Structure 1
Amino acid sequence: MRLTEFAELTDLEFGRRRADAMLNDHVLVELGGRTGAQAIEDGVDPREVWRALCREFDVPPERW
């Protein structure tokens, strides 16, 4: 998944402000105790970050 697609999905699902806050502030245990932004910076595929966010925030699987 490209970062532009990831950004579009997070903005659509959570809204831009909430998505930005989630990526920078919310620690995802599933991603080694990193925020989504840290995980992407560390080279984690944005698709994995997207799925972790979806699981954490109970996004219905059909929207993953």
Structure 2
Amino acid sequence: MRRSEFDRAVADEFGARASAILVDLVLSGAGGRTAVEALDAGVPPREVWLALCAETDVPAQRRYGVGRLEPRR
């Protein structure tokens, strides 16, 4: 997962709350850091996304493959 895919996935899943969740929610799966802190520390976006999903109870079917753009034709 690229950072741009992470950003799209977060925006799609959390909508208007996305920016607050990224800076305020401490993720136990990311070493007790917020998503922004974890990304800044070099944690891969996929790991941060999965930690964010676990912390906010995002259903499994919405965790994988999100954030990708449709293939160009």
Partner residue of 1:42?
41
**C-alpha distance in structure 2 between counterparts of 1:53 and 1:61, whole Å:** 12
Q: How many residues align?
A: 63
Higher helix fraction: Structure 1 or Structure 2? Answer: 1
Q: What is the alpha-carbon distance in structure 2 between the residues aligned to residue 13 and residue 32 of structure 1? A: 22
1:14 aligns with: 14
Contact 2:10 / 2:18 at 8 angstroms: preserved in 1? yes
Larger RCO, structure (CA 8 Å, separation 6 or more): 2
In structure 1, what is the equivalent of residue 62 of structure 2?
63
Q: Flag structure 2 segments of 5+ consecutive residues without an equivalent.
A: 64-73
User: What per-residue deviation string (whole Å, max 9, x for no partner) do you get for residues 13-50 of structure 1?
Assistant: 000x3111111111112211100000000000000010
Percent of pairs with identical residues: 54
Structure 1 residue runs of 4 or more that deviate by more than 3 Å after TM superposition: none
Gaps of 5+ in 1: none
User: Distance in 1 between the 2:29 and 2:40 partners?
Assistant: 16
Larger radius of gyration, structure 1 or 2?
2
Q: Is contact 2:38-2:48 (8 Å) kept? A: yes
Q: Which residue of 2 aligns with 1:31?
A: 30
